[in-house]
Structure 1
């Protein structure tokens, strides 16, 4: 066999071997290993002193790099004028315990839109001007029973009435309309990529963004949820008021935190993305705690 034929034969064998190796999927240089998701966990980062009163909801403000906390919920349905909004630094130090007070009774859910902080307060929405730290408008909600959480998609707002089982849509000027009356015990709301999500007595629901607000139940394990954080369209952190925080990833639900034995509530949680901090208002414990999330 001459040299040229030997070279062609060697090349042919190499080509066949390469094809076979590719078919068996055993290529050591090109195969990408599938990464196993990290088991989610929470670790305590900081906890404030017990200087709050019925701390119910927390909200991170990325523009100011601070956390708002709503307080005054020891009598969550009474108009007793003891409500206030606090400002907390992301390291857990309290910047201003009573940043806004007066004409607040039992403030709960909060959302930021165009320099305004919108807050539910039993049967009204209070609109706070952030720059001046003052309530510039109160919007009474007809037939409201127990207004709870608030969320925004960046253009409009949504708020829940837990005891009426309703969800409302609100424009920035305060005009509103009911979009759902079939959400029993609805509480936590959040928006992500144009969709509204809600926690109610039946689980975690996603609403269509076509203006019809058709409901799709995507998790039935976390019923009666309070606070909701959306990490992506299939990954969520949800709290239940009596002392549980859950991690939902696809079809898997994991208990991240259980403080029921300590009688420490886990109300309407917030989230600081840059630090992966889940901010937990402890309600009757009168604290706010932060836990680092690893997932």
Structure 2
């Protein structure tokens, strides 16, 4: 873990070195190595990750479900269902906000039904919409292609690797993929599968069992069983993740450990498909029924 821990590391390292040097007159290099081992153990036990409130948008993002940061441009996209998550009513739209909480363009793209997860690749924004995957040309702000999925019920999150688009169906327990214009099945039997994220060519997912790491053939390894039924998934670093649970929880996951850093259930504030400004360590939380995006600084 990082950030807050770096300051703690320096303090504890100094104390550890002082104590060890007092008792050991020789072998300075070994003494330093031993001190660093102590620091690692003490910091791991004493410092827990946390979130600090920063800002929130106005309550104009109706039933906001997902936030995505375009790392190439800095634009922040928000999907808004504006109705029931399964109704084909044409009310859904995508907004653009900035990193201060201003709504730059409330209805950047309209005409969707119940848009949820998003991912960007080669100038295209891909978004799930109940039983189809929609491809949007970012430059022209228009729908360029639609890919229906015959047996889909509740398409949800999206992620991309090497031009292949992967997307989940929470109700059917399937992960589909779009490759060369064709939709095919990647994995099935994934109970309540939702959040998906690629990092360094590896696919991770959140479902009713917990956090999974998938192989290329669709098989998986269960990494963590503490965060079950997760929604949004962010890869923070090697073996470190940020996961949201729709009812109002956000967790930091590291290996088999997990820390709850936000619980907003008492305020009836949901935590849906979160976004992340990685340079600033800012978590962007779509609150669904509260109709706004809330930003927090992540300390970990």
Give the gaps of 5 or more residues in structure 1: 1-18
Residue 225 of structure 2, aligned match among 220, 225, 228 = 220
Contact (CA 8 Å) 2:87, 2:113: kept in 1 or not?
yes
After superposition, what is the alpha-carbon deviation per residue over 1:189-239, rounded to whole angstroms, capped at 9, x for unaligned?
Answer: 00011111110011110001xx31221010111111000000123111100
Does 1:177 pair with 2:184?
yes
Give the gaps of 5 or more residues in structure 2: 1-23
SS of the residue aligned with 2:279? helix
Separation (CA, whole Å) in 2 of partners of 1:264 and 1:158: 28
C-alpha displacement of 1:169: 1.5
Does 1:190 pair with 2:197?
yes
SS of the residue aligned with 1:185? coil
- CA distance change for structure 1 residues 217 and 27 in 2, over 3 Å: closer, same or farther? closer
Residue 259 of structure 2 corresponds to which residue in structure 1? 254
Residue 151 of structure 2 corresponds to which residue in structure 1? 143
Residue 61 of structure 2 corresponds to which residue in structure 1? 52
Residue 18 of structure 2 corresponds to which residue in structure 1? none
Contact (CA 8 Å) 1:47, 1:289: kept in 2 or not?
yes
How many residues are treated as equivalent by the alignment?
271
Please, what TM-score do these two structures have when normalized by structure 2? 0.86
Separation (CA, whole Å) in 2 of partners of 1:99 and 1:144: 26
Separation (CA, whole Å) in 2 of partners of 1:146 and 1:189: 15
Please, what TM-score do these two structures have when normalized by structure 1? 0.88
Separation (CA, whole Å) in 2 of partners of 1:142 and 1:286: 31
Structure (1 or 2) with the larger CA radius of gyration: 1
Point out 4+ residue stretches in structure 1 off by more than 3 angstroms: 19-22, 25-32
Separation (CA, whole Å) in 2 of partners of 1:233 and 1:153: 17
Residue 239 of structure 1 corresponds to which residue in structure 2? 244
Residue 139 of structure 2, aligned match among 131, 140, 145 = 131
